[in-house]
A and B are shown apart, each in its own frame.
Chain A
Amino acid sequence: MSAVVERSGRPAAPGLPDRPRVGRVRSMVDLYLTEMRTAIAVQFQYRVANYFYMIGMVAEPVIYLVVWSSVARSQGGAVGGYTPGEFAAYYIVWTLVRNINIVFTPYGWEWRIQKGQLSGQLLRPIHPIHYDLGYFAGMKFVVLVLWLPIAAILSLAFHPTLQPSGLGIGVFFVALWGAYLIRSLNMWVLGMITFWTTRVSAIFELYMALELIFSGRLVPLTLLPGWAQGVANFLPFQWTFGFPINALVGKLSTTQLLEGLGMQALWIGIGATIIHFVWRAGIRRFSSVGN
C-alpha cells in the first residue's frame, strides 16, 4: 500500500498518521453519504413545511409562464424562439432546477458566525464546505420526491412541449449537479464576506437581482436584448439555470450541450480556487463570537 501513499500539502495533524489516499477518499465518500442520509431524515420530518415552501416557490415560474405565454400568443405564436408549449416546458423544468439550486446561503453564514457555530466546525479535520455540500445534496432527494406531484399538476395545467434528445437528457442530469456545485461555491464565496462585515444582506440582494436577470431564471436568455446576452456570457449564472433547463427542453445542439458542460467545469474550477484563497485569508481574520 505504501506506493499509493501521498502526502498532502498540509502536515498531518500531530499524533495522527497520514492516511493513505484510498482511505482518505473512502472516508470522504463516507462523510458525504452520512451527511446526505442525515439531510434526508431531517427534511422528510418536515415535509409539510417543505411543501408550503415549495408551493410558494411555484408561484414565481407560473407567473412568468402565464405572462410570456400571453406575449407569445399575441405575437403570432412564439417569442424569442419559444412557443407557449415550450415556455411551459421551460418553466416547469425551472421548478426542479430552482430546487436543486437551493444551497447554503450567506444568511446561513451570517447566522453561523453570529452564533459561534463556525468555531466548532473549525475543529473538525475536514474542510467545512464538504459538510454543506453533502447535506444539501441529500436534501435534493426529498425535494425530488415532493416535486414530482407538483410537476404532474403543472404539466396537466399548462401542456408543455418537451422534445429532449437522448444526449440532452443525459447532459441534463449531469448539468443539474454542475449547477448545484457552481451555485454552492458562489454562495460560499459570497457568504465568506461575513468574515469582513456582518451585514451581507445588501450585497446578497444585489447578487440575487443580477442572478435573476442574467441566469435565465426570469426569462429564457434569448428574450434579453443582445448586449445583455453578451454580458451573461461572462457570468456564471446561466450555467446554473438556463443551461440545464434548455438541455432538457431540447433547445441546444450537441456542440452547445458539450460546451455547456465544459463551461460548468470551468466555473466550478474558478469557484473552488476563489474559495481556497478567500477561506485562508478569512479564517485568519476570524475571531470567534459566541461559545
Chain B
Amino acid sequence: MDRADPIAGRPTRGIRAAARLWWVFFRVGAMNELQYRVNFFLELFQSLVALATGLIALALVFQHTSSLAGWSKPELLAVMGVHVMMGGIIQTLVQPNMDRLAREVQQGTLDYALTKPRDSQLVISVREVRIWQTVNVLMGLIVLGWAVTQLQRGIGVVQALAFAGALVLGAVMIYCFWLVISTGAFWIVRMEEISELFQGVYQAGRWPVTVYPAGLRASLTFLVPVAFAVTVPAQALTHRLTERTLLVAFVFAAALFAFTRWFWRVGLRHYSGASA
C-alpha cells in the first residue's frame, strides 16, 4: 500500500517514485556543476591524457606480440572502451555518493539523510552526480565504436542487447560492492582510502580477466566484480559470451543486490549517529 506524500499527494514508494527522486537530485547536481565550466575542459584534458597512456600501453604490448591470452588488438581495444565507459559511469553516479556517505558517517551528518521520509538506501545512493565525468562515458563509446569497426566479426542485434544487459548488470554489481564496503564505515569509521583502493583494483579491468592467474581472476570476479563490469560486456561484443555466463551474471547481481540491502539495514541498526 502506498503512503501518500503529504504535500504533492504522490506515491513515495515504487520504481517511479525512485526514478523521480533520482531525477530531482540529478537536475540539482547538474545545475551545480554547470556553473563551473572550466572543469569540463580540465576533465576532458585529463581523460585524453589517460586515454593516450592507455593506447600507448596497448601499442607497446602489440609491438611484441600478436595476441594476448587469445585476444586480438581490436578486441582489447573494445575491452579498453568498455573499461573507460564503465569508469565514467562509476565516477558520475556511484563514487561521488559513496564518498559522501563515508564522509558523513565520519562526521555524523548522515543523520540529515536518514531523517528524510524516503528509503534511506535510495536517498544516499542518488544524492550526488558529477556530470562532467560523463566525458569518460563518451570517450569510452568512441573507443568502442572504433574497436567494433575493426573487429573481424561484426555485431548483430543479439550481441548489442547482450552487451547492454551485461553492462547494466555490471554497473549494479559495482554499486553493490561499493555500498557494502562503505557500509563497513558504520563499524570502522575511517573509510576514505576506499576510493584509492577501488581505483587501483579497477585498473585491472583494462585487460580481460582471463589474462590473470586463477586466484586473482576469481577475486576480480566475485570479490571485486570488475570481471562482470568490464570483461563480460566486452565478451558480448567479441562473440565470447555464453548464455550461461550471462545467467550467472544475472543471478550474482540479484543475490548481491539482496545482500547489499540486508547489510545496509544491519549497518544502519548499528549506527548511532554522532551529531545528536
CA distance A92 to B203 in the complex (A): 18
For the complex, is B192 an interface residue (Cβ under 8 Å from A)?
yes
Interface residues on B, range: 35 or more
Min Cβ gap A54→B in Å is: 10
B65 near A75: Cβ-Cβ < 8 Å: yes
CA distance A286 to B215 in the complex (A): 54
The one of B50, B201, B212 that contacts A66, using a Cβ cutoff of 8 Å: B212
CB neighbours of A212 from chain B (8 A): 53
Min Cβ gap B62→A in Å is: 9
B46 near A201: Cβ-Cβ < 8 Å: yes
B61 near A209: Cβ-Cβ < 8 Å: no
CA distance A178 to B211 in the complex (A): 36
CA distance A201 to B44 in the complex (A): 12
Q: Per DSSP, are chain A's interface residues mostly helix, strand or loop, or mixed?
A: helix
Chain B residue at minimum C-beta to C-beta distance from A207:
B49
Q: Per DSSP, are chain B's interface residues mostly helix, strand or loop, or mixed?
A: helix
Interface residues on A, range: 35 or more
For the complex, is A218 an interface residue (Cβ under 8 Å from B)?
yes
B200 near A59: Cβ-Cβ < 8 Å: yes
Min Cβ gap B58→A in Å is: 10
The one of B45, B57, B199, B203 that contacts A202, using a Cβ cutoff of 8 Å: B45
B53 near A63: Cβ-Cβ < 8 Å: no
Min Cβ gap B226→A in Å is: 10
Q: Mark B138-160, 1 if CB is under 8 A from A, else 0.
A: 00000000000000000000000
Kindly identify, within residues 12 to 55 of chain A, every residue whose CB is under 8 Å from any CB belonging to chain B. Answer: 48-49, 52-53, 55
A63 near B197: Cβ-Cβ < 8 Å: no
Kindly identify, within residues 214 to 263 of chain A, every residue whose CB is under 8 Å from any CB belonging to chain B. Answer: 218-219, 223-225
Min Cβ gap A52→B in Å is: 4
Chain B residue at minimum C-beta to C-beta distance from A48:
B190
Footprint of B on A, CB under 8 Å? 48-49, 52-53, 55-60, 62-63, 66-68, 70-71, 74-75, 79-80, 157, 199, 201-202, 205-206, 209, 212-213, 218-219, 223-225
Sampled A-B contacts (18; CB under 8 Å): A53-B193, A56-B201, A58-B200, A59-B200, A59-B201, A60-B200, A63-B206, A68-B61, A70-B68, A70-B211, A71-B61, A205-B46, A205-B49, A209-B53, A213-B53, A218-B53, A218-B56, A218-B60
Footprint of A on B, CB under 8 Å? 38, 42, 45-46, 49-50, 52-53, 56-57, 60-61, 63-65, 67-69, 190, 192-194, 196-201, 203-204, 206-207, 211-213, 216
Q: A-B pairs with the 8 shortest C-beta distances?
A: A56-B200, A52-B193, A59-B200, A56-B197, A56-B196, A71-B65, A209-B49, A79-B64
Extra inter-chain contacts (10) besides given A55-B197, A56-B201, A75-B65, CB under 8 Å:
A52-B196, A52-B197, A56-B199, A58-B200, A59-B204, A66-B216, A67-B207, A71-B68, A209-B50, A224-B60
